[in-house]
């Protein structure tokens, strides 16, 4: 593992300046520009300035006036970041949403608008100048909250525009259901992109990732799907109900807070994750061996087991037979709650990609329950939820600036300090 990752580290360092020149041609909101003097308590070696000091005054005044007029678009720093996993993986979630559902909707529409204008998919939204200002100002404020909770203010050597990801649900119906809901088929449907670590594609300086959820996605029945109501032979009303599952972000190697380590299961999954990185594979799809005992398939199967574990309480007997029984498993599965933020460290104390940070984003699966007894579903107390059939997220990346160190040991020292701060602050 050491030799190829060292070479990749050096190559990344040498080419980083060129990539920055290319990325500088992007059009960014002014409040996201010129953050080269921000630092993490001085540990990146740059003088501190006040947050937001580089915001264009005229632009900020207009946006702030609109935001102050509508409290729905304020950003609130969470009272605390709550640990979701035991070390070595440092994974945390905000105790409360940092933005409202209205703010989440605005950002989803904003990025759908940008995607549509760039020729991508997404609904066409017309944005006037005021709404553009509102969305951009909201985005800048979110950056400030992430800077604060991670203790790593942004700088101009890291990507300022978050990655926007939209998932639209896949409908499984009739004969398709029986063919897809086997272990292999369903795994490919739920996790079509596999799992990865966020230091992939040469991003070795990317030491923290943050995900802001813009939708509510919980495993449960969608009762307002508009199915046809009809009667069976006994006069009982029936309906084409939909069970919406998936949408979680799963960390299969993580040990949940408060749970004992299941040594055999933990070692098996951890060994697979370490083996992938030793082979310089930072994505499970890079392991082309389809054998169930291969490293990539072991990690993907651990994710599927975590899904089965969590949805079992929401499945009735009709569906329970469609899913394979989950094996004893570890892993943390984070379900989206609109406005909530999670963040995690991508590198270990030695500054190398952390095998515990392998994670995957689930697709949304809508399973049509034809001929389901409507009264029986209504009697399933606690199982009816208001579930979204769309999932949208924003992904932010924190990078240690390459100007703050001269070699891998220097990078490792800064990464370890960042991890130590997180542990001291929240654990």
- 75-120: pLDDT as tens digits: 988 889 999 999 999 999 999 999 999 999 999 999 998 888 655 4
- Please, which residues have CB within 8 angstroms of residue 258's CB and are 6 or more apart in sequence? none
What is the mean predicted confidence (pLDDT) over 38-67?
A: 36
- Section 171-186 average pLDDT: 62
- Helix 129-150 / helix 101-117 crossing angle, nearest 10 deg: 110
Distance CA 15, CA 408 (A): 15
Q: Phi and psi (nearest 5°) for 283?
A: -145, 135
- Evaluate if residue 180 carries a pLDDT over 70: no
At residue 146's C-alpha, the angle toward residues 95 and 213, to 5°, is 60
Of the two residues 289 and 3, the one the predictor is more confident about is 289
**Structure-derived torsion over alpha carbons of residues 131, 137, 139, 141, reported in degrees to the nearest 10:** -150
Mean pLDDT over 382-399 rounds to 75
What's the average model confidence in pLDDT over 197-207? 88
Spell out the alpha helix ranges (H) of 118-182: 129-150, 175-180
Indicate whether 41 pLDDT > 60: no
| pTM of the complete model | 0.79
Average pLDDT over residues 268-277: 95
Contacts of 398 (CB under 8 A, 6+ apart): 146, 150, 152, 154, 158, 206, 207, 208, 209, 210
Of 238, 367, 383, the closest CA to residue 316 belongs to 383
Say how far apart CA 285 and CA 355 lie, in whole Å: 15
């Amino acid at each position: 593992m050491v030799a190829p990752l060292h070479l990749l580290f050096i190559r990344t360092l040498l080419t980083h300046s060129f990539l920055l020149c290319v990325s500088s041609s992007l059009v960014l909101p002014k409040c996201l520009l010129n953050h080269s003097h921000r630092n993490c308590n001085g540990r990146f070696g740059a003088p501190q300035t006040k947050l937001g000091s580089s915001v264009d005054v005229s632009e900020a005044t207009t946006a702030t006036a609109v935001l102050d007029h509508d409290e729905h678009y304020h950003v609130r720093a969470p009272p605390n970041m709550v640990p979701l996993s035991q070390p070595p993986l440092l994974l945390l979630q905000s105790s409360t949403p940092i933005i409202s559902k209205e703010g989440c909707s605005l950002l989803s529409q904003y990025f759908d608008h940008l995607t549509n204008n760039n020729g991508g998919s997404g609904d066409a939204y017309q944005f006037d100048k005021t709404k553009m200002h509102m969305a951009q100002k909201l985005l800048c404020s979110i950056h400030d909250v992430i800077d604060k909770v991670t203790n790593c203010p942004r700088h101009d050597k890291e990507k300022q525009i978050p990655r926007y990801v939209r998932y639209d649900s896949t409908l499984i119906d009739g004969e398709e259901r029986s063919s897809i809901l086997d272990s292999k088929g369903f795994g490919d449907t739920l996790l079509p992109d596999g799992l990865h670590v966020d230091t992939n594609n040469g991003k070795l300086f990317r030491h923290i990732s943050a995900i802001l959820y813009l939708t509510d996605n919980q495993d449960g029945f969608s009762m307002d799907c508009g199915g046809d109501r009809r009667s069976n032979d006994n006069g009982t009303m029936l309906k084409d109900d939909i069970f919406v599952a998936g949408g979680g972000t799963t960390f299969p190697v993580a040990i949940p807070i408060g749970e004992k380590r299941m040594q055999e299961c933990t070692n098996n999954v951890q060994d697979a994750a370490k083996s992938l990185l030793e082979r310089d594979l930072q994505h499970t799809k890079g392991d082309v061996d389809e054998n169930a005992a291969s490293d990539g398939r072991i990690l993907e199967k651990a994710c599927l087991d975590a899904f089965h574990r969590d949805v079992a309480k929401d499945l009735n007997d009709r569906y329970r037979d469609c899913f394979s029984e989950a094996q004893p498993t570890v892993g943390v599965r984070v379900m989206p709650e609109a406005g909530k933020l999670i963040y995690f460290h991508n590198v270990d104390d030695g500054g190398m990609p952390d095998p515990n940070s392998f994670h995957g984003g689930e697709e949304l699966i809508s399973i049509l329950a034809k001929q389901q007894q409507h009264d029986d579903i209504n009697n399933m107390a606690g199982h009816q939820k208001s579930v979204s059939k769309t999932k949208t997220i924003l992904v932010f990346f924190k990078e240690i600036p390459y100007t703050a160190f001269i070699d891998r040991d220097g990078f490792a020292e800064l990464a370890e300090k960042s991890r130590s701060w997180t542990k001291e602050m929240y654990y």
